[in-house]
Amino acid sequence: MAFMKKFSFELEKEDGKARIGKITTAHGEIETPVFMPVGTRASVKTASPDEVKDLGAQILLGNTYHLYLRPGTDIIKKHGGLHKFMGWNGPILTDSGGFQVFSLGFGSKNRKNERLVKIKDDGVEFRSHIDGSKHFFSPESVIKMQKEIGADIMMAFDECAPADADHNYARKAMERTHRWADECIADNEKIKPLYGYGQSLFGIVQGVVYKDLRIESAKFITNRNFDGIAIGGLAVGESEKVRNEMIETVMPYLPKDKPRYLMGIGFPQDILNAIERGADMFDCVLPTRLARNGTLWTYEGKLSILNAKYSKDLNPIEKDCGCYACQNFTRSYILHLVKESEVLGIRLTTIHNLHFMMRFMEDIRNSIKENKFEKFKKEFISKFS
Amino acid sequence: MAFMKKFSFELEKEDGKARIGKITTAHGEIETPVFMPVGTRASVKTASPDEVKDLGAQILLGNTYHLYLRPGTDIIKKHGGLHKFMGWNGPILTDSGGFQVFSLGFGSKNRKNERLVKIKDDGVEFRSHIDGSKHFFSPESVIKMQKEIGADIMMAFDECAPADADHNYARKAMERTHRWADECIADNEKIKPLYGYGQSLFGIVQGVVYKDLRIESAKFITNRNFDGIAIGGLAVGESEKVRNEMIETVMPYLPKDKPRYLMGIGFPQDILNAIERGADMFDCVLPTRLARNGTLWTYEGKLSILNAKYSKDLNPIEKDCGCYACQNFTRSYILHLVKESEVLGIRLTTIHNLHFMMRFMEDIRNSIKENKFEKFKKEFISKFS
């Protein structure tokens, strides 16, 4: 049985190192640079899939770790994949679960003084954060789950070492990541897609904050037949300066004709810094998580809607914003809703922040088309920070 | 300054004692019998005003007590009324706050052994359930607040005595309610509407579970120039039999040419019983509150979406239901969302239950039009209960 691969990337234009491109998947096209809203548990928190689509989201991210634990990939498979389960017909990217396994368990020990995460050469044994039950993720199981989920873009299983790991440990984690990358490629050949469309696979560059390791990892991963290259292990505690250095270190080794995904980055300044250095894809829970705490992003900067000064403010969240929240409701009303824990409040703040992100990414793409990215970046940051 | 009254009721058809009619308000028409979704704090919990409109809601209910405490009627006034504050352009009915004042405080005492609610002849002193601050509601203040809110239908201030009040107390409460009814009518003449449209006023029949008092109260209230008549003080602990008896006792005294609002009733069987006895308007938090606990109403009966048997069920909540939840998602997915506390879960269950109520009321109206109300009632109850 042959499946159409249905994945391609076309680099359309560069402005300095910033680039615009187009990814084609079985569930549609994606213009890059792109921000991917996070739907950890098969839902972008508070929003319906139709709202997310109407906001202009081109692709969503799902979390293999969470979906594996609940509802379980068997239930998703029974629905014919995550797209059908959650009612989202656009492209989906799933992480490999590696980040969650390590970040949820790293350094943690149970009452018997046992590590909650045991890293072995063939995979990772860990305990569920929900009920403490024991589980094992391997390159093969992670590919199998992502096939069952039916992600358009799957991620290789990697070890995401913490930002303060020493060079010795960082090398070990990187080498394990490389072995697992090769295993994932082999498993991807072996395990066929279940739903009649091809699924692509991205490799992940690791190496913590060590330039030599980052270069070695970039060379290794780009030398494999991945459909796209991710930079992992950043935004985990390192400084902005170090983060930018790591991106600059890796980028020259990445092929121009593959998309570059900087994992877990979502703060506007960080996205601008990364695009300036050649990154194409981003994901982060920050815009939606902050929204639920009442923190809103606008082109004029951040605001906390719970600030008492907005209690009688009849303006929208942001003056020239076209989102449903800004077109229909006042700051005063939204403050009231969020303060009273009315669900509509966090729905409206989520809609605003996601709309902001979509508008922000579109403005970035337009600025690159017009060779004005640096100007856009400078003007944006002068108001936002 | 003269304001157009803009309130009328037209009785269109009777089928036994069941009736269909049309209420006209400044914000639109309402076909009766009607169920009014409750938007206690200026939001029908989890839903946007556009969703509520799309579901077919004809009128919403707001709670004066809650809106007075938060955000405060001054803020609503600043917006030009509740319609603009919450983005709902259809008719709004507000209760008078009487029910909340009494039900939140009745019998409760603070640490100094003082009653939290002090009932005086000119009004009620109570402490806020939020911060313990002291407040006073009188017929005049309640009318003033409802004018500031801008309700299309205002309710007179009443004392809602508990179901187990003795005859002596029930009489006292009723007589106070009658005095306050006259004061509300006078205050309504005195305090002009603020927003250029007329606001109607409904009186409330009280009398706990005593037939003589219910008759006396019905005669008193119908003898005043109210735009509609409410039956209050039911669904507060009495049996279904007693509730039906009280409705039957009151109804013969109510004029046919005014709408009859049975306050706080929302359970389908209770609505059918009341319509059978001549009631036109209903409100209740039950459909939306139960939805948030995962209890769903269908024409085949009730179901709890959290029941494990639905975890792999690919059917919609209800087979032939046209709501957004049933048209797009499986029981399995909705169970997953509700279990994981994903907001979309309780949004979908709320949408389903409200859609159910709107469909139920429409089917009731159609059955009356076709002189088939009793048949509809019998068939519905045979499956639902």
Query: Closest Cα of chain A to B311: distance in Å?
Result: 8
Q: How far does A333 lie from chain B, in Å, by closest CA? A: 6
Choose from A50, A67, A75, A130 for mutation: most chain B CBs within 10 A. Answer: A75
Q: What is the structure's pLDDT at A39? A: 97
In the sheet with A228-231, reading across from the earlier edge strand, the strands are A34-36, A281-283, A260-262, A228-231, A200-205, A153-155, A92-94, A60-62
pLDDT for residue A132 = 84
Asked if B69 reaches chain A (Cβ–Cβ under 8 Å), the answer is no
Q: Do B347 and A48 touch (CB under 8 A)?
A: yes
Out of A15, A74, A95, A158, pick the active-site residue: A95
Chain segment A203-247, per-residue pLDDT in tens: 999 999 999 999 999 999 999 999 999 999 999 889 999 999 999
Residue A81 near residue B333, CB atoms below 8 Å: no
Give dist(CA B340, CA B39) in Å, integer.
Answer: 25
Tally of CB atoms within 10 A around A356: 23
Report the gap between the CA of B48 and the closest CA in chain A (Å).
6
Predicted local confidence at residue B2, as pLDDT:
46
Please state which of the four CATH numbers 1.10.3720.10, 3.40.630.30, 3.20.20.105, 3.40.50.720 is assigned to the domain occupying B8-283: 3.20.20.105
Burial B193-224 (b: 16+ CB within 10 A, else e): bebebbbbbbbbbbbbbbeebbbbbbebbbee
Mean pLDDT, to the nearest integer, of A110-122?
Answer: 77
Q: Of the listed B95, B158, B227, B280, which one is catalytic?
A: B95
Task: Please report the pLDDT score of residue A131 as a whole number.
Answer: 86
- Does residue B50 have an active-site annotation? no
Q: Do A75 and B332 count as a contact with CB atoms less than 8 A apart?
A: yes
What is the model's pLDDT at position A16?
A: 98
The more confident residue out of A108 and A264 is A264
Number of residues that make up chain B? 385
Cα torsion for A290, A251, A173, A208, to the nearest 10°? Answer: -60
Q: Which residues of chain B have pLDDT under 50?
A: 1-2
- Res. A112: pLDDT tops 90: no
A85/B340 CB distance under 8 A: no
Chain A hits for B46, Cβ within 8 Å: 343-344, 347
Rounded Cα distance between B353 and B296, Å, is: 6
Judge whether B363 counts as a catalytic residue: no
Beta-carbon contacts below 8 Å between A and B: 100
* Contact yes or no for B342 and A311 at CB 8 A: no
pLDDT in tens, A10-26: 999 999 999 999 999 99
Model confidence over A249-263: pLDDT tens digits? 999 999 999 999 999
Mind listing the pLDDT tens digit for each residue in A36-60? Answer: 999 999 999 999 999 999 999 999 9
Q: Are strands A295-298 and A301-304 parallel, antiparallel or unpaired?
A: antiparallel
Which position has the higher pLDDT, A385 or A43?
Answer: A43
| CATH 3.20.20.105 domain locations along chain B | 8-283
Of chain A, the percentage scoring pLDDT greater than 70 comes to 96
Determine which of A40, A43, A292, A324 to mutate to test the interface with B (most B C-beta atoms within 10 Å): A43
Residue in A47, A60, A72, A104 with CA at minimum distance from that of residue B336: A72
The CATH label, of 2.102.10.10, 3.40.50.720, 3.40.50.620, 3.20.20.105, for the domain at A8-284 is: 3.20.20.105
SS3 at position A46: coil
Beta strands B228-231 and A200-205, pairing class = unpaired
The residues in B 15-54 lying below 8 A from A, measured between CB atoms, are 41-43, 45-49
Predicted ipTM of the assembly? 0.97
Which of A45, A46, A48, A314 should one mutate to test binding to chain B, selecting the residue with the greatest count of B CBs within 10 A? Answer: A48
Q: Which residues of B touch A87 (CB under 8 A)?
A: 328-329, 333
**DSSP-derived pairing of the beta strands B18-25 and B8-15:** antiparallel
Residue limits of CATH 3.20.20.105 in chain A: 8-284
CB hemisphere CA count around B216 (13 angstroms): 15
Which residue in the set B75, B328, B343 is minimally distant from A332, CB to CB?
B75
Measured between alpha carbons, how far is A112 from A120 in angstroms, rounded to an integer?
Answer: 20
CB B73 within 8 A of CB B147: no
Q: Which residues, numbered 121 to 180 in chain B, qualify as contacts with chain A under a Cβ-Cβ cut-off of 8 Å?
A: none
Average pLDDT over residues A115-139: 89
pLDDT-derived band at A111 (thresholds 50, 70, 90) equals low
The pLDDT of residue A101: 83
pLDDT above 50 for A1: no
Q: What does DSSP assign to residue B153?
A: E
Tell me the mean pLDDT in the region A66-77: 97
Q: Do B337 and A42 touch (CB under 8 A)?
A: yes
